[in-house]
Amino acid sequence: MTERTQNLIEPKAGLPRGAALLRDPLLNKGAAFTKAERLALGLEGLLPPKVFTIEQQAARAMENYRRKQDDLERYIHLMSLHDRNETLYYRLVIDNLEEMTPIIYTPIVGQACQQFGHLFRRARGVYISLDDRGRMTEVLRNHTHEDVRVIVVTDGERILGLGDQGVGGMGIPIGKLSLYTACAGVPPGRCLPVTLDVGTENVERLQDPLYMGICQHRLRGEEYDGFVAEFITAAREVWPKVLIQFEDFANVNAFRLLEQWRDRICTFNDDIQGTAAVALAGLCSALKITKKPLRDQRILFLGAGEAGVGIADLIVSAMVDEGAEIEDARRRCWFVDSKGLVVKSRQGLAEHKLRYAHDVLYAPDLSSAVHALEPTALVGVSTIARAFDKEIVETMARLNERPIIFALSNPTSKAECSAEEAYTWSRGKAIYASGSPFPPFTYLGKTFVSGQGNNSYIFPGLGLGIVACEARRVTDRMFAEAAKALAAQVLQNDLDMGRVYPSLRRIREVSAHIGAAVAEVAFRDGLAGVERPADVLEFVKSKMWEPRYASYLW
Q: Who contacts 534 (Cβ-Cβ below 8 Å, separation ≥6)?
A: none
Among all residues, which ones are annotated catalytic? 105, 176
Q: Exposed, middle or buried: residue 143 (CB in 10 Å: 0-12, 13-18, 19+)?
A: middle
Q: Please, how many CA atoms are within 13 Å of residue 481, restricted to the half-sphere of its CB?
A: 19
Report how far residue 149's alpha carbon sits from residue 186's, in angstroms, rounded to the nearest whole number. Answer: 9
Q: Are 373 and 342 a contacting pair, CB within 8 Å?
A: no
Decide: helix, strand or coil at residue 50.
Answer: coil
Residue 533 CB contacts under 8 Å (≥ 6 apart), including other chains: 539
Bridge partners (DSSP) listed for residue 404: 377, 431
For residue 182, give the nearest of 82, 277, 39 by alpha carbon.
Answer: 82
Instruction: Using the CB atoms, write b or e for 93-102: b if 16+ within 10 Å.
Output: bbeebeebbb
- What φ, ψ does residue 279 adopt, rounded to 5°? -65, -45
Pairing of strands 340-341, 267-269: unpaired
According to DSSP, the β-strands at 333-337 and 340-341 are antiparallel
* Distance of alpha carbon 241 from alpha carbon 151, whole angstroms: 11
DSSP 432: E
Checking DSSP bridges between strand 267-269 and strand 243-246, what pairing results, if any? parallel
Q: CB atoms < 10 A from the CB of 553, how many?
A: 16
Binning the chain into helix, strand and coil, the percentages to the nearest 5 are: 50, 10, 40
Exposure string over 207-231, b if 16+ CB within 10 A, otherwise e: ebeebbbbeeebbeeeebeebbebb
Among 431, 536, 433, smallest CA distance to 485 is for 536
